[in-house]
Amino acid sequence: MRPYVFVNVAMSADGKLSTRERRQVKISGSIDFRRVDQIKAGSDAIMVGIGTVLADDPSLTVKDPELKAGRAARGEDENPIRVVVDSRGRTPIEAAILNKGSGQRIVAVAGEADEKNRELLREKADVITTGTESVDLPALLDALHARGVRRLMVEGGGTLIWSLIKEDLVDEIQTFIGNMVIGGKDAPTLADGEGFLAAQDFVGLDLADVLRMEEGILLTWKVRHQQRSIL
């Protein structure tokens, strides 16, 4: 069993999540920021890859005091469980995600992670080990479900999202598309990794919603699970 998995990212008009130097870019405005805060507050857990932690040092906390209070009133921690997918246990011990705000943290590592790194991370987070060289994502989602996670938000980046899509583990994709071109063939996109080659492997989507927002557009896609061939 796994949680409902939805991806949320902001991208430029040319589909980039940031610059080729992987520097964080402000793509969306205050209305989208508020929307992201709301969907975060409505999630049981929020997940990012280690690339995002090293590039952006995000806290992934709920920002609005009313949304935090709403979670507390429902008997939940102020923040959803924050999960880093980090095979080698490279999450810096001083990272914002491990230190800012209350709530549980999980660092998901693979079997080959250095034991010293794991020991250090255990001071700040639960460490879940799955897979050998890289994190076994189906097993991780299974472990999160066993801990009560039913709704999982994935904030990026492109490498992690690609793996989740490839393994047919994503149910919904929300993208805010902003009014800028970032460019660069090496700049991260929604789904990096090796990509599919054959049309029958492409992931089919149903357009669930289109919303004009500030100077951009918010698209919501539902993933068609059944129509894909086995990878």
Ligand X SMILES: Nc1nc(O)c(N)c(N[C@@H]2O[C@H](COP(=O)(O)O)[C@@H](O)[C@H]2O)n1
For residues 108 to 147, the per-residue mask of contacts with ligand NDP, x marking binding by CB under 6 A and - elsewhere, is --------------------------xx-x----------
**Is residue 60 within the footprint of ligand X (CB under 6 A)?**
yes
**Is residue 216 within the footprint of ligand NDP (CB under 6 A)?**
no
Quickly count helices (H) and strands (E) in the chain.
Answer: 7, 9
Residue 104 binding: pick among ligand NDP, ligand X, none (C-beta 5-8 Å cut-off by kind): none
Q: C-beta of 91: minimal distance to ligand X in Å?
A: 14
Measure CA of the first residue to CA of the last residue in the chain; give whole Å. Answer: 19
**Is residue 175 within the footprint of ligand X (CB under 6 A)?**
no
Residues 161-190 within binding reach of ligand NDP (CB under 6 A): 163, 188
Which among 51-59, 81-89, 195-203, 220-228 is the span making contact with ligand X, rule CB under 6 A? 51-59
164 with 137: CB under 8 angstroms? yes
**Residue 204 CB neighbours (<10 A):** 12
Which among 15-23, 68-76, 115-123, 206-214 is the span making contact with ligand NDP, rule CB under 6 A? 15-23
Distances in Å between the Cα of 220 and the Cα atoms of 152, 165, 181 are 16, 15, 21
Residue 85 binding: pick among ligand X, ligand NDP, none (C-beta 5-8 Å cut-off by kind): ligand NDP
Structure-token pair, residue 230: 């086995």
- What's the number of CA atoms in the CB half-sphere (13 Å) around residue 46? 27
The nearer residue to ligand X, 28 or 163, going by C-beta atoms, is 28
Q: Give the containing element (helix H, strand E) for 30.
A: helix 30-41
Which among 17-25, 61-69, 198-206, 213-221 is the span making contact with ligand NDP, rule CB under 6 A? 17-25
**Residue 164 CB neighbours (<10 A):** 22
DSSP letter at 129 equals E
Q: Round to whole Å and give the CA distance between 94 and 173.
A: 31
Give the E-state strand segments of 90-228 in sequence order: 105-109, 126-129, 151-156, 172-177, 205-213, 216-223
The nearer residue to ligand X, 165 or 177, going by C-beta atoms, is 177
**Is residue 134 within the footprint of ligand X (CB under 6 A)?**
no
Name the site residues for ligand X (rule: CB under 6 A).
10, 24-28, 32, 36, 48, 52, 56, 58-61, 155-156
Query: Which residues would be at the binding site for ligand NDP (CB under 6 A)?
Result: 9-10, 17-18, 22, 24, 27, 48-52, 55-56, 85-88, 90, 134-135, 137, 155-160, 163, 188, 192
